[in-house]
Amino acid sequence: MDWNYISYYFNWLFGEIRNFLLVANNPGQKIFLAVVVIALFVAVMALLLWLVDRPRNPRGWLVASVFAGPALLLIGFGLVYPAIRTTYSSFYDRNGQNFIGWDNYVRAIGEPEFQLVLRNTALWVFLVPILATAIGLIYAVIVDRTRFEKLAKTLVFMPMAISMVGASIIWRFVYDYRQASSPQTGLLNQVLVWLGIEPQQFIIQQPWNNFFLIVVMIWIQTGFAMTILSAAIRAIPDDIVEAARLDGLSGVGLFRHITVPSIRPALVVVLTTIAMATLKVFDIVRTMTGGNFGTSVVANEFYTQSFRYNDKGIGATLAVILFVLVIPLVVYNVRQMRKVEEIR
């Protein structure tokens, strides 16, 4: 047989397959394509796992790379590459063409506009974890082993199930403002009117509006804190509590000397987890104020700069700053989680 003929034939075959697989014009074709890709992925993985299982004593690195490799590749494409790319962009100007060194960072830290953003973020990261954890802890202790425990916990946990955007819309109604002369539609202002106080523009008055936004995040995160801490409190053995009672503790003393130290690892995990979520907060600010009236935070500002003002450089810089701020929290969090597991 002629080699030319064979190569021609294969070229034609691959072309047909390529056209068939990659050109999807209607939903049916797209779904079919998706199924084919998934099947292909399963087939490739099955083949790899089968191959690695073949030899009697497969080498450790081989097994490890087959199991961890695909995940690592995906992390590489989805996380590591964008992270490097973003860091790279942060050293370039708004169009990503001219290298400008640390200028973006100097701007991000120096300009009053961005200083406000950093201040707001600091405020969020300081207040939300501490208040959400404190409220969740006190609530967990109070409802622990009462008759209405389940109902009480469900009520506090429910906001967790609401999306941040949904929660923000709910709270925008709560904060809604109408002129004093007209009837109030916002719950909070109606309460103020009942109390004989002038209605307030909660979302606009600086700097207090930041606190009203923070309340929304606390409302969402308290349920999380309460659930984890309640489980941790439950895990304290009864006899330790009894021993403490015999040793002369009760009420606040028991809480301070026994409950809190016993759940310390869980407390740290909750605090850092909420702190991470808060650092990345975007939806609430975006939905409630769009970052106006001095309420912008790093994640929101990064979005605004990158996609509305098209300043890729400063946007990337803010993203990097956010990233750098989150890292220590993540490291600490993971360490504490390991400790919790050790104790178990």
Partner 1 sequence: MATVTFDGATRIYPGTERPAVDKLNLHIEDGEFLVLVGPSGCGKSTSLRMLAGLEDVNEGRILIGDRDVTDVQPKDRDIAMVFQNYALYPHMSVADNMGFALKIAGTPKAEIRQRVEEAAKILDLSEYLDRKPKALSGGQRQRVAMGRAIVRQPQVFLMDEPLSNLDAKLRVQTRTQIAGLQRRLGVTTVYVTHDQTEALTMGDRIAVLKDGLLQQVGTPRDMYDTPANVFVAGFIGSPAMNIGTFPVADGAANFGKAHVNLPRDVIANIRPEDQGQITLGFRPESLDIVSAGTQDSFPVVVEIVEELGSDAFVYGSLTQDMAGTRLSSGAGEAQIIVRVDPRRVPAKGETIWVRVREGEQHQFHAASGERFDI
Q: Does 262 bind partner 1 (CB under 8 A)?
A: yes
Name which of 236 and 322 has its Cβ closer to partner 1.
236
In the complex with partner 1, the residue whose CB is nearer, 44 or 243, is: 243
Q: Is 261 in the site for partner 1 (CB under 8 A)?
A: yes
| SS3 labels along the chain | CCHHHHHHHHHHHHHHHHHHHHCCCCHHHHHHHHHHHHHHHHHHHHHHHHHHHCCCCCCHHHHHHHHHHHHHHHHHHHHHHHHHHHHHHCCECCCCCCECCCHHHHHHHHCHHHHHHHHHHHHHHHHHHHHHHHHHHHHHHHHCCCCCHHHHHHHHHHHHHCCHHHHHHHHHHHHCCCCCCCCCCCHHHHHHHHCCCCCCCCCCCCCHHHHHHHHHHHHHHHHHHHHHHHHHHHCCCHHHHHHHHHCCCCHHHHHHHHHHHHCHHHHHHHHHHHHHHHHCCCHHHHHHCCCCCCCCCHHHHHHHHHHHCCCHHHHHHHHHHHHHHHHHHHHHHHHHHHHHHHHC
Does the footprint of partner 1 cover residue 245 (CB under 8 A)?
A: yes
Which listed residue (108, 131, 215, 244) binds partner 1 by CB under 8 A?
A: 244
Q: Binding to partner 1 by residue 142, rule CB under 8 A?
A: no
Q: What are 242's two structure tokens?
A: 């009894």
CB of 143 to partner 1, least distance (A): 20
Of 212, 223, 208, which is closest to residue 135 (Cα–Cα)?
223
68 belongs to the binding site for partner 1 (CB under 8 A): no
Does 251 bind partner 1 (CB under 8 A)? Our answer is no
* Residue 332: CB minimum distance to partner 1, A: 19
Minimum gap (Å) between residue 234 Cβ and partner 1: 16
List Cα–Cα distances, 146 to 150, 152, 250, 253, in angstroms.
Answer: 9, 9, 17, 20
Among 77, 242, 308, 309, binds partner 1 (CB under 8 A): 242
- 253 part of the interface to partner 1, by CB under 8 A: yes
Cβ-based nearer residue to partner 1, 234 or 257: 257
Q: Which stretch binds partner 1 (CB under 8 A): 64-72, 200-208, 236-244, 289-297?
A: 236-244
Write down the least CB distance from residue 238 to partner 1, Å: 9
Residues in the interface with partner 1 (CB under 8 A) total 19
The answer to whether residue 243 forms part of the interface with partner 1 (CB under 8 A) is yes
Selection from 236, 233, 225 nearest residue 271 by Cα: 225
Residue type, 210: N
Contact call for residue 341 and partner 1 (CB under 8 A): no
Residue 18 vs 257, nearer CB to partner 1? 257
- Residue closer to partner 1 (CB basis): 113 or 242: 242
Which CB, 2 or 342, lies closer to partner 1?
342
Q: Does the protein bind partner 1 through residue 233 (CB under 8 A)?
A: no
| 239 binds partner 1, rule: CB under 8 A | yes
The answer to whether 237 contacts partner 1 (rule: CB under 8 A) is: yes
Query: Out of 22, 195, 246, 252, which residue is the one contacting partner 1 (CB under 8 A)?
Result: 246
Residue type at position 172? R
Smallest separation, CB 229 to partner 1 (Å):
16
Residues that bind partner 1 (CB under 8 A): 237, 239-240, 242-250, 253, 257-258, 261-262, 264, 343
